[in-house]
Amino acid sequence: MARMAGTAARAEALVGTPVVSTTPVAGGDICTATRLRLTDGRNAVIKTRPQAPAGMFRREAEGLRWLGEAGGVPVPEVLGVDDECLVLAWVEPGKPTPELAEQFGRELAVTHRAGAPHFGADRDGYIGLAPLPNRPLPTWEEFYASRRVMPYVRAALDRGALTSDEAATIERLMRRIHTYSGPAEPPARLHGDLWSGNVLWGAEGRVWVIDPAAHGGHRETDLAMLALFGAPHLQRILDAYDEAWPLAEGWRERVALHQLHPLLVHAVLFGGGYGARAAASAQSLLDGRG
């Protein structure tokens, strides 16, 4: 098997174990992923990006460790990290099944229920390559409007991904967010970027999560993100979650609210119709159609 000398040397310096072979891993447009076989029999994956945004890989490693401490959904072990790469234990991929989906739903409830000290995080982070303000605020409504939605409304407007009318619609909703946010809940321990591509269905019978934008937030946010771009056996996940930790009445009507932030992130990063879709979601809530 081929051995990419530069990648192998970087991994060896971080992990402290010689690399036998390296294999490129398909997928991912932000980082280059390479599978490593180590001399001690372990397999790992190294994610690299030259001139990565400051602290990006370190924030990811911190988020993984914090989520792993919850004892719910498993995360790959962090084997090494520096400013331009992250080395994780390899998760052998498997196939999604209804049984695994139910297990994932129950374990996600455990992760969320582990809680967080506040709405936000001690340091700012990233969602993909996009900056993620995390400075804590007293309530989820304040945090979501001020740290998640409005910064991306302004950025999308600057990039031409939102019209001024669309931005005004979202801003109007944020001024009235308490009307739509449902019962108050304590900060949950969130993954923060839980779309299906960050969910690994492992061959050994567990579902793992990767690439977090971890912070203390509202648990419905992770569930709404799972639904936004589709996830295998989504209804089984949601039913198992709701059985393990029942969701507050009306949570389905709040999905559009929790999807605003990821839609705006996509509007900033990719343009297209994501800005209009975010504004339409906001308008549906204002019209009572959320």
We report the CATH number of the domain holding residue 47 as 3.30.200.20
**Dist CA 140 CA 155 (whole Å):** 21
- Asked which of 28, 60, 89 is the last residue of a domain, the reply is 89
Residue 193 falls in the annotated catalytic set: yes
CATH number at residue 105: 3.90.1200.10
**Dist CA 174 CA 281 (whole Å):** 12
Number of domains in the chain: 2
- The overall pTM is greater than 0.85: yes
Which pLDDT score, from 0 to 100, does residue 2 have?
Answer: 54
The number of C-alpha atoms within 13 Å of 221 and in the hemisphere containing its C-beta is 28
Q: Are strands 85-89 and 43-48 parallel, antiparallel or unpaired?
A: antiparallel
Q: What residue numbers bound the domain in which 40 lies? A: 5-89
Which pLDDT score, from 0 to 100, does residue 257 have?
Answer: 98
Which pLDDT score, from 0 to 100, does residue 3 have?
Answer: 55
230 with 151, same domain: the answer is yes
147 with 50, same domain: the answer is no
Amino acid at 105: G
**Dist CA 219 CA 101 (whole Å):** 18
19 with 65, same domain: the answer is yes
76 with 106, same domain: the answer is no
CA distances for 53 relative to 61, 132, 147, 169, 271, angstroms: 14, 12, 19, 32, 21
- Asked which of 68, 89, 110 is the last residue of a domain, the reply is 89
**Dist CA 36 CA 43 (whole Å):** 6
Strands, E, within the chain: which ranges?
19-25, 32-38, 43-48, 78-81, 85-89, 125-127, 130-132, 188-190, 199-201, 207-209, 215-217
Which pLDDT score, from 0 to 100, does residue 26 have?
Answer: 84
Residues 6+ apart with CB under 8 A from 249: 182, 183
Which pLDDT score, from 0 to 100, does residue 290 have?
Answer: 62
Closest to 87 (Cα-Cα) out of 78, 95, 76, 96: 78
173 with 222, same domain: the answer is yes
Catalytic residue among 82, 158, 165, 193: 193
DSSP 39-101: TTS-EEEEEE-TTPPTTHHHHHHHHHHHHHTTTSS--PPEEEE-SSEEEEE---B----HHHH
Per-block mean pLDDT, blocks of 10 residues, the chain (290 long): 76 95 85 95 95 95 98 98 96 97 98 98 95 97 98 97 98 98 97 96 96 98 96 98 98 97 96 95 89
73 with 119, same domain: the answer is no
114 with 170, same domain: the answer is yes
